[in-house]
Amino acid sequence: MKFNWEGVMPAVTTKFTENDQLDIAMFQKNIQAQVTAGVHGIVLGGTLGEASTLLESEKRQLIKSTLEVVGDKIPILMNIAEQSTRGGIYAAQQAQEDGASGLMMLPPMRYKACDRETIEYFKAVASNTDLPIMIYNNPVDYKIEVSLDMFEELLEQTNIQAVKESTRDTTNITRIKNRFGDRLKIMTGVDTIALESMMLGAEGWVAGLVCAFPEETVAIYELQKAGRIQEAIEIYRWFMPLLELDIHPKLVQNIKLAEAYANIGTEHVRAPRLPLSGSERDEVIMIIEESLKHRPALYDYKK
């Protein structure tokens, strides 16, 4: 499959049953909702996918179950978040064998690698797979920043092709474009600055609240791409209180609660995470319910 780094790519949640097993039926229901809305790819096993809690066999099952829904319509990316270079290489090769179309890669987990170690980690994995790779650059949460100088060296690997830009500094988009042009594609990774990031040149959006609101997310992308900025802004302004649920330590619980309200998910998370409770849950419910009361009629965005 030819890989296009553009459009909306949901970082989907992993669905669990009350007994802490994969809930494949609900997982596939959500994936189908994403496809119906017109997303351009699916990202599995990311932060929202509770990657650190998943068994190898479960990651393999997620790829298989996603392929059953999407076939060859859109690409599937598996996130690589491993503690060792050896583990990263193995996970990448396993994802390729299982049918993933591409990879999203975090720096080494737990150990705070220096610049040289981070570069060598990414290059080692990239040189051991044919899959196209998007580097997830999120120094806010993962404490390692991939600088432009580091990307200069990383781009010697032809299959390192994109960045999930989550520095939360929109000026970084212009810096990347000025330095690398189209050689390094940009997928914005922060919901609350997604529209402005795309207007500045990001090719797409690895989104979070899309898990519960796929049509609104795709509408914003398609409208801004068509130059219908004011229409995109109207939806984006409505969306903002929900999008802010993504930039929170409990983003997984927040978004799973929103999915439950949208009838395309459940609140079940894997321990040590626990579902929201008390006033914390009440506050998120208030945001969701208030947003649903004023859910906008969408402009025609489907082509």
- Given pLDDT bands bounded at 50, 70 and 90, which one contains residue 303? low
Mean pLDDT (whole number) for 60-67: 98
* Helices (H) then strands (E): counts for the chain: 12, 8
Of the listed ranges 110-114, 200-204, 226-230, the least confidently predicted one is 110-114
Q: What percent of the chain has pLDDT over 90?
A: 96
Q: Report the chain's mean pLDDT, rounded to a whole number.
A: 97
Six-digit token string for 292 = 């649903």
DSSP E strands in 30-183: the ranges are 42-44, 76-80, 102-105, 133-137, 160-165
pLDDT bracket for residue 96 (50, 70, 90) = very high
H or E segment and range at residue 206: strand 204-207
Residue 301 has pLDDT above 90, yes or no: no
What is the C-alpha to C-alpha distance for residues 220 and 211, in angstroms, rounded to an integer? Answer: 15
DSSP reduced 3-state for 65: helix
Q: What is the mean pLDDT of residues 79-100?
A: 98
Residue 182 has pLDDT above 60, yes or no: yes
Residue 2 has pLDDT above 70, yes or no: no
Q: Tell me the pTM.
A: 0.96
> If you search the block for the tokens 């609240």, which residue do you land on?
209
- CA proximity to 199, closest of 155, 156, 233, 250: 233
Q: Which residues contact 96 (CB under 8 A, 6 or more apart)?
A: 129, 130, 131
Rg of the chain (C-alpha set): 18
Span 188-197, mean pLDDT?
98
β-pair partners for 43:
11, 77
Q: Is 186 helix (H, G, I), strand (E, B) or coil?
A: strand
Q: Residue 74 — very low, low, confident or very high, per pLDDT cuts 50/70/90? A: very high
Tokens of 131: 């899959």
Residue found under tokens 């583990």:
87
**Distance between CA atoms of 302 and 187, rounded to whole angstroms?**
21
What would the pLDDT profile of 251-267 be if each residue is shown by its tens digit?
999 999 999 999 999 99
Q: Cα separation of 219 and 58, whole Å?
A: 32
How far apart, in whole angstroms, are the C-alpha atoms of residue 163 and residue 151?
Answer: 9
The pLDDT value given to residue 13: 98
* Structural domains of the chain in order of their starting residue, each with its CATH number: 7-293 (3.20.20.70)
Nearest C-alpha neighbor of 32 from the set 265, 216, 297, 291: 265
pLDDT at residue 284 in the model: 98
216-237: per-residue pLDDT in tens? 999 999 999 999 999 999 999 9
Question: Nearest-CA neighbor of 246 among 29, 47, 50, 35?
Answer: 47
pLDDT value at position 259?
Answer: 98
Closest listed residue to residue 200, CA positions, set 231, 222, 169: 169
pLDDT beyond 60 at 290: yes
Q: What's the mean pLDDT in 166-176?
A: 97
Confidence of residue 132 (pLDDT cuts 50, 70, 90): very high
Residue 12 near residue 31 (C-beta atoms within 8 A) = yes
